């Protein structure tokens, strides 16, 4: 059964010459495509950074000196900091691990030495004495377990705190982008009304407004992808919940933006139809 390769030629997978391109010499397209599969199973931070950089340039060229272009510049800087945080979370913190291992080993040595030095009587004079002994032993074991758990999870909690700080900044950027598109209302072009003294300046044409809203949607999407990169290699429920909250927020705001774009496209299409009707008349 042929499968279409990258050059548009069918690759025969179920023939003895699997990996050959039909109608041509042996090709490495199939094997190279199999090697490229892992690239498309995880987010590539370099690709995200390049896409974000191009978006920043597009916004600066289309709307030079605008607030949205400044937000894009800040988001590029923030993405670099976020990716540094992700790299920090991926690598083991050996000083903390060694210190925790030494402390736990010291605790176990103290416990063992204490247990050896204690002389336990073979006879128990009363039930209450037995209960007190068991209660003290259980308390010691529980406290020891809590201490070990605290030490073992120390590295994860430090990484979590750093990740949540970066994610909080990304959430703030999402709200800032929403503030920039808040007054970009296509209804002002469809049914203009006289402005008041406090009305925001609206000087964009319909194509410019559509492009502006599209840029806002792209920035929200890329911000969501930056946030998603935090949970690729750091499986923490708190961080995962925060990332899901950011993605839910981005989805809702993007839907609101695309409603505006849809209204703008309908108004533009209606104007084009009316203009064409006048020209024919």
Given this model, what pLDDT does residue 30 score? 42
With 50 as the cut, is the pLDDT of residue 10 above it? no
- Strand-pair partners of 2: 12
Q: Which residue has the tokens 């070990």?
A: 148
Q: What confidence tier does 229 reach under pLDDT thresholds 50, 70, 90?
A: very high
Name, in order, each residue with C-beta under 8 angstroms of 204's C-beta and a sequence gap of 6 or more. 184, 212
Average pLDDT, the chain: 80
For residue 18, pLDDT over 50 is answered with no
Q: Helix 45-62 and helix 206-228: axis angle, to 10°?
A: 160
Lowest mean pLDDT among 105-114, 192-201, 208-217: 192-201
Q: Give the number of C-alpha atoms closer than 13 A to the C-alpha of residue 212, restricted to the C-beta side.
A: 26
SS3 at position 1: coil
Exposed e or buried b for every residue in 195-219, given b needs 16+ CB within 10 A? eeeeeeeeebeeeebbbbbebbbbb
Residue 113: pLDDT band with limits 50, 70, 90: confident
110 has a pLDDT exceeding 60: yes
Alpha-carbon span 150 to 143, nearest angstrom: 10
- Picking from 105, 107, 88, 86, the residue whose alpha carbon sits closest to that of residue 44 is 86
Q: Residue 50: what pLDDT?
A: 94
Looking at residue 27, what is its pLDDT?
Answer: 46
User: Which residues, at least 6 apart from 107, have a Cβ–Cβ distance to it below 8 Å?
Assistant: 144, 147, 148
Percent of the chain with pLDDT over 70: 70
Q: Is 279 or 111 the better-scoring residue by pLDDT?
A: 111
CA distance 184 to 220: 16
- Of the listed ranges 50-64, 102-116, 241-255, the least confidently predicted one is 102-116
Identify which of 39-43, 49-53, 265-269 has the greatest average pLDDT. Answer: 49-53
| Average pLDDT over every residue of 178-189 | 82
What is the average pLDDT across 30-56?
Answer: 77
Look up the pTM and report it.
0.73
Q: What are the extents of the domains in the chain?
A: 1-41, 45-131+161-187+204-281
């Amino acid at each position: 059964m042929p499968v279409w390769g990258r050059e548009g030629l069918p690759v025969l997978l179920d023939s003895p010459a699997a990996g050959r391109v039909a109608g041509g010499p042996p090709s490495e397209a199939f094997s190279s495509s199999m090697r490229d599969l892992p690239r498309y199973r995880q987010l590539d931070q370099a690709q995200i950074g390049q896409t974000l950089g191009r978006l920043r340039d597009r916004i600066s060229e289309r709307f030079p000196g605008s607030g949205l272009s400044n937000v894009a510049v800040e988001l590029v800087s923030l993405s670099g900091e976020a990716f540094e945080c992700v790299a920090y979370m991926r690598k083991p913190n050996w000083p903390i691990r060694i210190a925790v291992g030494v402390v736990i080993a010291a605790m176990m040595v103290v416990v063992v030495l204490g247990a050896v030095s204690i002389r336990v009587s073979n006879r128990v004079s009363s039930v209450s004495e037995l209960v007190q002994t068991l209660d003290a032993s259980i308390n010691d074991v529980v406290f020891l377990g809590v201490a070990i758990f605290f030490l073992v999870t120390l590295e994860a909690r430090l990484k979590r705190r750093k990740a949540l700080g970066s994610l909080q900044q990304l959430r703030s950027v999402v709200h800032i982008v929403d503030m920039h598109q808040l007054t970009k209302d296509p209804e002002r072009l469809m049914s203009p009304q006289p402005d008041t003294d406090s009305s925001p300046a609206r000087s964009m044409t319909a194509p410019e407004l559509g492009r502006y809203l599209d840029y806002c949607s792209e920035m929200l999407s890329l911000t969501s992808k930056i946030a998603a990169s935090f949970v690729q290699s750091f499986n923490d429920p708190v961080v995962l919940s925060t990332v899901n909250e950011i993605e839910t927020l981005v989805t809702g705001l993007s839907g609101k933006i695309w409603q505006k774009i849809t209204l703008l496209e309908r108004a533009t299409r209606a104007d084009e139809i009316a203009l064409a009707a006048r020209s024919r008349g």
